[in-house]
């Protein structure tokens, strides 16, 4: 029996929906060979029967290629196309609204709801002039619209936000050192507030990157 096997060339050819499907299976199964079969089935869009007909050496090679893709250090993708719609990352995170921040902080560490976090970060571009663009307002009702978002975009944004969080934490420490506050109590309250905002988010992002074996350096 002959069939065509198409291996993704990079993470832009794997969707968040596919990745979530694999993670769901991985959570309830520890059999490595079963998981390898599912990896090929889901990411190469091959039916289960055809996967079982692959030579063992060929299957191992495909899994190695897929694993290598997931372990590569990602880069922030500023714009991408999904169908006929071009999406852009929020141009200025300093102007994020309270509602956007809450949804981003809530769902960024939750794979099964990652599309909601992506919907905060990436919106349809409504106007563009050169490299600059305007995006649509955040629409909480369209929370599942980005389930087909490419995984290079997802991983890139996770990596970017993790490093941004580290940079912000360092900036806060420098601020504390350069601007002596009136008393130790004031300094402690300020630092505790910043730690509370950043700690849980950074931990979630770091855990996700660790699981993906992505280098943080």
pLDDT-derived band of residue 148, with 50, 70 and 90 as boundaries?
A: very high
pLDDT interval class at 134 (50, 70, 90): very high
Q: Point out the least confidently predicted range of 114-118, 157-161, 187-191.
A: 187-191
Instruction: From 30, 28, 26, select the one nearest 41 (Cα to Cα).
Output: 26
Residue 95 has a pLDDT of 81
The residues, any chain, with a CB within 8 Å of residue 71's CB and separated by 6 or more, are 212, 213, 214
Of 76, 104, 106, 81, which Cα lies nearest the Cα of 91?
Answer: 76
Domain boundaries, the chain: 11-71, 79-211
Query: Above 50 in pLDDT, residue 173?
Result: no
Residue 191 has pLDDT above 60, yes or no: no
Quick one: pLDDT at residue 19?
95
**177 pLDDT tier (thresholds 50, 70, 90):** low
Out of 66-80, 151-165, 166-180, give the one with best mean pLDDT.
66-80
Higher pLDDT, 111 or 140: 111
Contacts of 216 (CB under 8 A, 6+ apart): 162, 206, 209
Q: Examine the pLDDT at 169 and tell me if it is beyond 70.
A: no
pLDDT at residue 23, rounded to an integer: 92
Q: Which pLDDT score, from 0 to 100, does residue 46 have? A: 93
What are the φ/ψ torsions at residue 146 (nearest 5 degrees)? -105, 30
Question: What are 202-211's pLDDT values in tens digits?
Answer: 555 556 555 5
Q: Report percent pLDDT > 70 for the chain.
A: 74
What predicted TM-score, i.e. pTM, was given to this entire model?
Answer: 0.78
């Amino acid at each position: 029996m002959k069939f065509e096997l198409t291996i993704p060339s990079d993470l832009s050819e794997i969707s968040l929906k596919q990745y979530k499907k694999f993670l769901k299976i991985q959570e309830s199964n520890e059999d490595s060979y079963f998981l390898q079969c599912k990896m090929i089935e889901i990411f190469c869009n091959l039916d289960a029967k055809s996967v079982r007909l692959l030579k063992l050496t060929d299957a191992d090679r495909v899994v190695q290629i897929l694993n290598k893709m997931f372990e590569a250090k990602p880069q922030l993708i500023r714009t991408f196309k999904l169908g006929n719609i071009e999406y852009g990352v929020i141009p200025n995170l300093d102007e994020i609204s309270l509602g956007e921040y809450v949804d981003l902080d809530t769902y960024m560490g939750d794979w099964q709801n990652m599309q909601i976090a992506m919907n905060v970060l990436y919106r349809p571009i409504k106007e563009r002039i050169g490299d600059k663009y305007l995006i649509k307002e955040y629409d909480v009702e369209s929370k599942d619209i980005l389930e087909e978002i490419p995984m290079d975009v997802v991983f890139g944004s996770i990596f970017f936000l993790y490093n941004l969080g580290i940079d912000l934490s360092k900036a806060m420490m420098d601020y504390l050192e350069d601007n002596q506050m009136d008393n130790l109590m004031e300094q402690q309250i300020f630092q505790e507030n910043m730690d509370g905002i950043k700690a849980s988010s950074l931990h979630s992002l770091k855990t996700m990157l660790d699981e993906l074996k992505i280098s943080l350096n």
